[in-house]
Structure 1
Amino acid sequence: MEPTGTALTEADWAAHRPAVFGAAYRILGSVAEAEDVAQEVWLRAAAADLSEVRDVRAWLVTVSARTAYNVLMSARVRRESYVGPWLPEPLLTGPDAAARVLVDESVSTAMLVVMRTLTPAERVALVLHDVFDLPFARIAEVLGATPAASRKLASRARTRVAAVTERPRASKAETRRVLEAFRAAAEAGDLAGLVALLDPEAVYVADGGGKATAARRPVRGAAIIARLAIRQVELRRPDAVRVVEVNGEPALATYSGGALVWLDTAEVSGGRITEFRRLVNPDKLPRIGHI
């Protein structure tokens, strides 16, 4: 790429911002924090002399990753004390999404949950190399490590996320069909119908973040999950459901009195739900919107 001059233009920034945001979101799992990182990168880039930068996109993504890495390191204690299971802040990715990002398996909910288990350095190495194809020499600069050490970090992370990347994925249409059938059965109080839609070893994960009522540990088993789903409908009495796309996959946004009360996503295999995820943390729901 030829040098672009001394400063980043707004047009250049508009072209590269999705990659900047996407790198930060994959590392952090938070839309709000990724937006903050993108703003910080823009301010730095707008004030920088980029006349010697031959690959502006790589430079911006590198700065984004370094900034996100610093956020992770400074927030480690807070993240480790999170109440109950953690789910990523959902990113709207459908045609009406306010935030545009490069969408692939690396921003799926399942992937971001696994990313949460990696060390900050492993996340950065994996995202920069496997998603953005940056060389380990550049990644080493971000992490303050050697290229060889950065390569090992990425390899270790790749092994950890293999459970997500290597398993078959249901189509969006199939996932939506099963989710909507699950919702209908729960609203009808159809215990047998719910059990039939769940793998016998299915797992239910709810994220309340200590700010909304939610199971503090994953719930396992089709029958108990089915009874829990029916009980939640009886307690909240939802009156509207909207299908949205988050993180590149179908999701059901459920409302009561016009307010969003929970967001459901699921992993589906063979027509049955293997993992059901319900996000009820009010801090993570506002960007989905009300009706």
Structure 2
Amino acid sequence: MGNGQAPGRSEQEDTLDAGWEKHRPAVFGVAYRLLGSVADAEDVTQDVWLRAAKADLRGIGNLRAWLVTVAARRAYDILKSARVRRETYVGPWLPEPLLTGPDASEPVLVDESVSTAMLLIMEELTPPERVAFVLHDVFGIEFGRIAEALGVSVPGARQLASRARRRVAKAKESMPRASKAERARVLETFRAAYEAGDLEGLVKLLHPDAVYVTDGGGKALAARKLIHGGERIAEVLVRVGRQRGADRVDLVEAGGELALVFRQEGGVYSVDTLQITDGLITAYRRVVNPEKLSRI
């Protein structure tokens, strides 16, 4: 074995093993950004592995780009059918929470594109726009590969990404990001007020025009319509807190930013992400769908 290849192993196996662990986070990352589902992203990652194991990788110059593009193409097919499923989803839909801190179960390239707010913005894009935007603007994939994945021309792929970029930028104008320090301060203050059942304290933290969104998916008790107004939201939070209680409320990193995890009897019953502007909570998003919490 003068070439240093392990006995019984092919060059194909060595090539795949060498690159897979390095690029697996990107494969998972592109699928999660496109689908907003950890379960679906894990399925896509497994599909990409199986396809890579069968493909001839010796002629592939950029393995990362090839793997990410294959993942995006598979996620694109799921994304088109997912939009149909969302039409029959019970109540509001929110992305499945993804832990991104040091204890995260899935490594992922973390930036604002995995935040709940950004994933919801990208939900407003068409599937081709979303694929073009994520592949080019987040992962730096060339338009030739994007065009091939979407079955469009290179100018068409450029146009899709450009259109998506403009729509995302416009949506972000009304959604300024709070600094990490500001988020930590607001969430710590919120946690203390929530645990104390301090209605007045919660009202002070909520913007008068704040919105409250809960995703139960028909599998857990949750409001099926949006709740508007800081005072009303505070009342709901206090009432839910009294009814359900929480053994522990933890600050964690989810989707690249601080979030709240409510634990009860050793399990997680909600993951809450907050949109904060000028020190006030403008959107409170709570996932209680047990299918979306099983991996937390």
TM-score, normalised via structure 2 length: 0.91
Retained in 1: the 8 A contact 2:91–2:218? yes
Compared CA separation, residues 74 and 265, structure 1 to 2 (3 A): closer
1:85 is aligned to 92
| 1:211 equivalent among 215, 219, 236 | 219
Secondary structure at 2:24 match in 1: helix
2:5 is aligned to none
Distance 1:138 1:161 in 2: 22
Percent identity, aligned pairs only, is 62
CA displacement 1:75-97 (0-9 Å, x = unmatched): 33212211111111111110111
1:137 aligns with 2:128: no
TM-score, normalised via structure 1 length: 0.93
Compared CA separation, residues 269 and 74, structure 1 to 2 (3 A): closer
1:180 is aligned to 188
Distance 1:117 1:209 in 2: 19
Distance 1:37 1:11 in 2: 20
| 2:251 equivalent among 231, 239, 243 | 243
| 1:124 equivalent among 118, 131, 142 | 131
1:150 is aligned to 157
Distance 1:67 1:229 in 2: 39
* Offset at residue 172 of structure 1 (A): 2.2
| 2:169 equivalent among 162, 166, 174 | 162
Compared CA separation, residues 115 and 259, structure 1 to 2 (3 A): same
Retained in 2: the 8 A contact 1:89–1:284? yes
Which piece of structure 1 moves more, 170-179 or 47-56?
Answer: 170-179
* Offset at residue 165 of structure 1 (A): 4.2
Retained in 2: the 8 A contact 1:110–1:164? no
1:286 is aligned to 294
Secondary structure at 2:223 match in 1: coil
CA displacement 1:91-137 (0-9 Å, x = unmatched): 11101111101101111110111112222111101111101112222
Distance 1:192 1:163 in 2: 34
Distance 2:281 2:138 in 1: 28
Secondary structure at 2:295 match in 1: helix
* Offset at residue 6 of structure 1 (A): 4.2
Secondary structure at 2:238 match in 1: helix
| 1:48 equivalent among 46, 55, 58 | 55
Distance 1:81 1:118 in 2: 19
* Offset at residue 73 of structure 1 (A): 2.3
C-alpha RMSD of the superposition: 1.5
Retained in 2: the 8 A contact 1:211–1:282? yes
Retained in 1: the 8 A contact 2:86–2:93? no
CA displacement 1:43-73 (0-9 Å, x = unmatched): 1111211122111111111100001011122
Q: What residue ranges of structure 2 are gaps of 5+ in the alignment?
A: 1-10
Structure 1 stretches of at least 4 aligned residues deviating more than 6 Å after TM superposition: none
**Count of residue correspondences:** 284
* Offset at residue 271 of structure 1 (A): 1.3
| 2:116 equivalent among 100, 109, 114 | 109
Which piece of structure 1 moves more, 34-43 or 236-245?
Answer: 236-245
1:225 is aligned to 233
Secondary structure at 1:75 match in 2: helix
